[in-house]
Amino acid sequence: MGVLTNKVERDELKPGDHIYTYRAVFAYSHHGVFVGGCKVVHFKPEHSLISPTLASSSSSSSSSVSEVNDSSEAPCPTYPDCGYKRPKSGVVLSCLDCFLKKGSLYRFEYGVSSSIFLTRFRGGTCTTAPSDPLQTVIHRAMHLLQNGFGNYNVFQNNCEDFALYCKTGLLILDKNGVGRSGQASSIIGAPLAALLSSPLTLLIPNPVGVATVTAGMYCMSRYATDIGVRNDVIKVPVEDLALNLGLKPLKRKRKACDTSISR
């Protein structure tokens, strides 16, 4: 694990790794689980997904072409099963190239010490929680590919939450609070830290002192929401996840690509 970055090369990946890449010039990161064979299972908002079949069948319409281009979901030229997803599900199987979209590759770190966690100023890069065995991680990811992960929510059920669940099997009991995502905690933690430190400007006139206190509060707010230290998390088997999330099971429809995935 690097001091400032978790960047890795492709040949360093192992099936079951939680990986991520940055989008929109490092504005946010997108997370997934590497399942081997150059394939990644990840979670996206359902409305942004366009299956390769739909894209090719509607390419004659200018409005459809615009929709495909805007969502960057053009058919993969290399892997026929890239982009596979079940109907009404945001969990998708992609090849590593389509997942990265020319971005750099990073590996999320598990079981880090509290001191290391606090030095990582940017959320969504590591957790103090340990990872389960890699085969368990892959089983969860492939099960969710077939059964879904509920509705996408940027603060409570996003791509990082998906990967964190696959790696740890942990769910948050409080469905109204912030989810497991360290990236979401960072977004919430920054304004919260600024708000809490604002009265201190009267006691600490030095701007550097105020900035230091604000940064400290920001890091502590991130640490308090990390799944490795929270006491409102429970271990949920992936087979029972639909019951805990209140999901309806996806209707099973046999497709040719099902066979290609299982091979």
List, by residue number, the catalytic residues: 30, 42, 159
Residue pair 161/30 in contact by the 8 Å Cβ criterion: no
DSSP 129: S
| Helix H or strand E encompassing 106 | strand 106-107
Helices (H), the chain: 52-57, 62-71, 96-100, 114-119, 134-147, 159-168, 182-197, 207-224, 241-245, 256-262
DSSP 239: G
- Residue 162: burial class (beta carbons within 10 Å; 0-12, 13-18, 19+): buried
